[in-house]
Structure 1
Amino acid sequence: MILKVFKEKSNKKYLNKLLSERHVNVNDSKVESLGVIINIDEIDDFELFKKLADYIKVRPNKLKIIAFSEKKKDDLNSWDLCFNPKDFGWKGTINNMELQSFLDTEFDVLISYYKKEILEIKMITACSKAKFKIGILQTDERLNDLILKTNLNQFDLFKAEVVKYLTILNKIN
C-alpha cells in the first residue's frame, strides 16, 4: 500500500516534468496518421474513431487506437491493445512493449478521448510523440494543444469540432 503511494507520487512528478518541458510546435503539415487514446471504462465504441479517421482521409494502416482500463479486462476479444495501471512502473517507465511502440510513433494528430482523471492515461497522452494533441477538457490544460469542451456521449459534436479546427489550421482539406 505504501509503495503504491510512492509509485504514484513518482509518476506524478515525472508527468509534471514532461508537461513543463513540452514545446508546442503547430505547423500546417497535413494529417496522415492518427493515434487515439480512450478509456474503455467510459466508452468502448472504437468504430466511431475509424469513421472519423476515414472522414479526415487517414488510411486505416495509419490509424492506431489504444484503450486503457483501470481494471484488468480479460474479456476483450475484439480489442487488441488494452492497458491498465500494471503496465506502468516507477518514474514513468512503461512495462509493455506494445504501449511503448505506440508512444514512440510520431502521429500527426493524437486524440485523447477520456474524461476521468487517471494518472496513467494522462501519462500516455503526455509521453506520446504526437505532433498535435486534441482532447476533451481536463483539469490540466497542458496535456493537449486543442481542447474541446464536449461530453463523451456527444461524439458527433466532437467530430464536427475536430474537423472544423483541423480545417482552420490547414491540416486537412
Structure 2
Amino acid sequence: MILKGFKEKSNKKYLNKLLTERKVNVNADKVISLGIILNIDEINDFESLRELADHIKVRPNKLKIIAFSSSKKDDIHSWDECYNPKDFGWNGAIKNMELKAFLETEFDVLISYYQKEILELKLITAESIAKFKIGILQSDERLNDLIIKTNLKQFSLFKEEVFKYLTIFKKIK
C-alpha cells in the first residue's frame, strides 16, 4: 500500500515535469491524423467518435482511438486497445508497447475526451507528441491547447465546437 502511494507520487512529479517543459507550437497545418483518448468507464460511444473524425474530414486509417479503464475488465470486446493502471510503472514509465506506439505517433490533433481526474489519463495526454491537443475542462489547464467546457453527455455540442475552432484556426477546409 505504501509503495502504491510512492508510485503515484513519482508519476505526479513526472507529469508536472512534462507539463512545465511542454512547448506549445500551434501552426496552420491541416488536420490529417487524429488520436482520441477516452475513459471507457465514463463513455463508450465508439460510433460518435468515428462521426467526429468524419466530420473534421479525417480518414479512418488516420484515426486512432484508445480507451482507458480504471479496472481490468474482461467484458470489453469492442475495443482493440484498452489500458488500465497496471500498464503504468514508476516515473511515468509505460509498460505496454501498443500504448508507447500511440504516444510516439505525431497526431495533428489529439482529443482527450474524459472528465474524471485520473492520473494515468493525464499522463497519456501529457506524454503524447501530438501537435495540437483538445480536451474537456480539467483542473490542470496545461494539458490541452484548446479547452472546450462541455459535459460528456453533450457530445454533439463538443463535436460542433471542435469543428468551429479547427475551422477558425484554419486546420480544416
TM-score (norm 1): 0.99
Counterpart of 1:52 in structure 2: which amino acid? L
Q: Which residue number corresponds to residue 75 of structure 2?
A: 75
Cα distance in 2 for partners of 1:96, 1:46 equals 22
Q: Which residue number corresponds to residue 3 of structure 1?
A: 3
The alpha carbon displacement at 1:80 in A equals 0.6
The alpha carbon displacement at 1:161 in A equals 0.3
Q: Which residue number corresponds to residue 147 of structure 2?
A: 147
Name the SS for the 1:143 alignment partner: coil
For 1:149-164, what aligned pairs fall within 5 Å after superposition? Answer: 149-164=149-164
Counterpart of 1:58 in structure 2: which amino acid? V
Q: Deviations over 1:26-53 (max 9, x none)?
A: 0000000000000000000111111111
Q: Deviations over 1:69-91 (max 9, x none)?
A: 00001111111110000000000
Q: RMSD in angstroms over aligned alpha carbons?
A: 0.4
Q: Which residue number corresponds to residue 19 of structure 2?
A: 19
Q: Which residue number corresponds to residue 165 of structure 2?
A: 165
For 1:113-124, what aligned pairs fall within 5 Å after superposition? Answer: 113-124=113-124
Cα distance in 1 for partners of 2:150, 2:15 equals 24
Q: Which residue number corresponds to residue 102 of structure 1?
A: 102
The alpha carbon displacement at 1:10 in A equals 0.2
Counterpart of 2:46 in structure 1: which amino acid? F
Count of residue correspondences: 173
Quick one: percent identity of the two aligned structures? 77
Cα distance in 2 for partners of 1:63, 1:10 equals 32
Cα distance in 2 for partners of 1:153, 1:170 equals 27
Counterpart of 1:44 in structure 2: which amino acid? N
Report runs of 4+ in structure 1 exceeding 4 Å deviation: none
Name the SS for the 1:74 alignment partner: coil
Q: Which runs of 5+ in 2 are unaligned?
A: none
Cα distance in 1 for partners of 2:15, 2:165 equals 27
Cα distance in 1 for partners of 2:13, 2:77 equals 35
1:136 and 2:136 matched: yes
Q: Deviations over 1:103-136 (max 9, x none)?
A: 0000000000000000000000000010000000
